[in-house]
Amino acid sequence: MLILSALLSVWVLASARKRFSFLIALLWAAATFFFTPIVLPLYLVVLLFRRGRSLSRQPRWRFAVPLAYGLVVVGGIALYLHKQNRGVDVHLARAAYAKIRGNHAAAITQYRAALQAEDDPHIRKLLGVELFESGHWREALSELRLAEHGGEQDDLVILRIGSLLDALDQPHQARLEYQRFILSPLCAQPVPDWRCETTRTLLETKPE
């Protein structure tokens, strides 16, 4: 659609230069590019009323100006799409799609690419969860701790850290994290998360 709008805009510029001053023609072309469904029909109506009326002489650089304008517009579109394809939202969308397909390696790659674009604690949490589920426990622990220190508000991060410490044979540290999770806002609400009771039961059966 962007390329089609650009081509129509170039055509409007080439056509309007025969009937209007360069500035007016350029305004018609720019408006056509940004608001094609609205401006293009208006321009065609204007052409009907101005049929047969044109400038007394052919505009200078008749083909060169529309061509240069087209190159500038297409170049701008290419830069915009390139920037969009490297944005955080694109990497997060690709990671979500990879997770749906069960491709954990691709999801981890996309989360890391998103972190290179923006160091965000929520993205670190998502990466940590994916590493946790993929069995990369030490890396997952590091990312989840960074997420928590960065201000991630999800209390389940604490529980996951406890589970990882348990898996890494650090029961004392794990117990501290489980206790911290039980005291978190998630477990203090009127209807606590079901994992809160499970963690309490785990602590009762787990030797100190």
> Using one digit for the tens of pLDDT, what is the confidence trace for 89-99?
889 999 999 98
Which pLDDT value is given to residue 2?
Answer: 86
Q: Going from the N-terminus, what domains does the chain have, and what CATH number goes with each? A: 2-85 (no CATH), 86-154 (1.25.40.10), 157-208 (no CATH)
Burial of 39 (0-12, 13-18, 19+ CB in 10 A): buried
Asked if residue 158 lies in contact with residue 147, where contact means CB atoms within 8 angstroms, the answer is no
Which pLDDT value is given to residue 64?
Answer: 87
What are the pLDDT digits (tens) for 32-71? Answer: 999 999 999 999 998 888 765 665 556 666 788 889 999 9
Mean pLDDT throughout 157-174?
94
Mean pLDDT throughout 8-37?
91
For residue 140, name the pLDDT band (cuts at 50, 70, 90): very high
Which pLDDT value is given to residue 28?
Answer: 93
Asked if residue 121 lies in contact with residue 151, where contact means CB atoms within 8 angstroms, the answer is yes
> 82 or 172: whose pLDDT is higher?
172
Question: Against a cut of 0.95, is the pTM above it?
Answer: no
For residue 17, name the pLDDT band (cuts at 50, 70, 90): confident
Asked if residue 186 lies in contact with residue 155, where contact means CB atoms within 8 angstroms, the answer is yes
Which pLDDT value is given to residue 201?
Answer: 92
Which pLDDT value is given to residue 22?
Answer: 87
Q: How far apart are CA 102 and CA 204, in angstroms?
A: 35
Residue whose structure tokens are 């190159």: 71
Q: How far apart are CA 133 and CA 167, in angstroms?
A: 12
For residue 78, name the pLDDT band (cuts at 50, 70, 90): confident
Which pLDDT value is given to residue 12?
Answer: 93
Asked if residue 149 lies in contact with residue 161, where contact means CB atoms within 8 angstroms, the answer is no
Which pLDDT value is given to residue 132?
Answer: 93
